[in-house]
Every structure is written in C-alpha cells, then in structure tokens.
Structure 1
C-alpha cells in the first residue's frame, strides 16, 4: 500500500513537471519561473521522503520549500495579497497538524489549530466584508481554533480550551449580532412591505388550495 502511494506521488510530480515544460515549450506559457519550480520540486521530493520514511525533518523542510516556492511565484502575479498571506499561516498549520497526528503531542496541536483558523480568516478577507463584520468573524475563527483543540485533543489537554472558545465566540457573536441589527434597522422600511406581500401571497395560495 505504501509503495502504491509513493508511486502515485512520484507520478503526480512527473506529470506536473511534464505539463509545465510542455506548456513552456509549445505555447510559451511561463507559469512558474525555473527557480520557483526547483523549490517546488525539492519540496515535493522531501514530502515523498516523509511519506516513505516518516522523517519529521523531511516534512518540515519540504513544506518550507513548497511555501517559499509558492510565495515567490505568487507574489509576482495579480493574485489577491490576502490569498498569499493566508498561505503563510495555513501551510505551517497543516504541517503542525500532521506532526500532531504522528506524535500525538499537544505542542503541535495548539499552534496548528490557531494557524489554520487564522489563515482561514485572512483568506475570507478577499471578499468585500464590512470591517465591523470582519471583527466579529475574527473572534469567531480564533474561538473555533480552541474548539478544534478540544475536539482533537480533549483526552490529553482536558476541557480548558472551551473557556477561551466560549469567550471569543460569544464576543464575536455579539459583534455580529449588533452589526446585523444595524443593517436590519437601516432596511426596516423595506422589510415590512416585503413581509406583508409574502403573507398576502401565502393567504391567497392557501385560499385557492381550499377551493
């Protein structure tokens, strides 16, 4: 089974490299600079080593090389900076979670959970969300990182993550509720007529069904 996974990973790496070289040669498409491609290739080779030998250093270095390669290449594109910034936190978070799964050490679970959820929050800022709602979502996402710690490591770390989770999620919920009420009050003159129309349509439909 392990040999099959290794062969599949090698195959995927070779296919990606071949597609890149073919696109560069035939269509003149320079998707990734050669230097960036080498970072990704070395990182993929180290991840293959980790998949085979379960060497922690190979996972860390491989992920670091891939992160450097991605950031170096994506920074020269028109990609939203929030997406690039989110990868700085999400990729290390994934590495910490893999290490936690391998070693069952809470020292990997805690930073891994926070990095994953903080990176996810940065990612959603690419959408046009008002600043007030963003503030509420920030506390919700960080609170969910503590919920994740509890769900994955409650047998080792106990219930203490539920305390900061409750505080952060509650605070974020209050901010979101307050902002939602402001929006509701602003559109209240439009909401009432829509509700009346909806009730009237429902009454008409129900009356016709009875007939």
Structure 2
C-alpha cells in the first residue's frame, strides 16, 4: 500500500490493505482518506474495509478492471482526477486493467505501481521459490512473468509507458507493491525493462 497526500490534506490510498485501529489512526494523523485507488482486478480484497470505514471515499479503478472491482465495491471513477496536478492517476496502456500513480514533489518524481514490476529481494524458503517462479523475485527488478501472461496484451505499449516514466524530470524512485523500493538509477531500470518487453 502507498499513500499520497494532496495539497489540501486529502489522501490518495493506492492498493489498500486492511489495517488495525492503530494503523487507521496513524493514517488519519497524516490527512483525510478521500480517494481509494484499486490498481487492478486482483488487488481488491481489502477495498471494502476502507470503504466501510470511510464511506465518503471515492473509489478509483482503471476501466479494464472496473467489472472485477465492482464485485466487491462500487467504482466511482475510472479517470482518477484528484484535483491536484502533483498526483496523477495513470491507466497503463497495453494492460488488461492495470493502473499506477505519478507523484510530483519539490524533491522529484515518484512512480507507484502494483503488479507491473516485481523486486522482491529478501524472501526466504518456500515463499522465495514461489515468488521466483512467478517472476516477482530475482536478482534485479523485472516484469513478473505471471503478470505478463495474465495482464499484458500489448507489450510495446507498456514499454512505451516505461520509457515515458524514465523521461520524467528528476525521477527519484519507483515504489511497487511487491518488493524493495527502487531508488538507484530508476530511469535506467525502466529503460531496461522496456527493452525486455519491446526492444527498440
């Protein structure tokens, strides 16, 4: 889960996970949870917990995942306009309903993704084996093979999106739901991943 704070103090919650009372209280100290981004049709299970606690939250999901998400919670919006240009919702072209956030800050830009990139470095035992077979764990960041098989229908367009993100001024980091934050040469990582999908 990642949370972006808008200029007006409202919060955008991306790929929400259920929290205990102390966890929700900590979030509320940062700002008011106003937008709930369900990034795809696979990471939807905890969305109802947040919607029940914050009934006024607007649920945002990419158009390609809307029907799956609405099996558990109504979707208000597939465009993701948060009223703040520093936090931008992106429906990732070339996928069957995957989304991301681009967050601009005075210190630079952050790209937040869900299943699109895996970078699990510290799993052990059986979990490491499973994540490695799925492509979420490895020696370096990668587009998980399980994700490519089930969710990418145009690798060239996804590669184009990676290259666009790589060109963001002052790109500082990539945050993903599965793995360690990439804050060393994130643009180079994105260009390499683009080339694995669609070489120039």
Q: Rg: which structure is higher?
A: 1
More strand by share: 2
TM-score (norm 1): 0.26
More helix by share: 1
TM-score (norm 2): 0.27
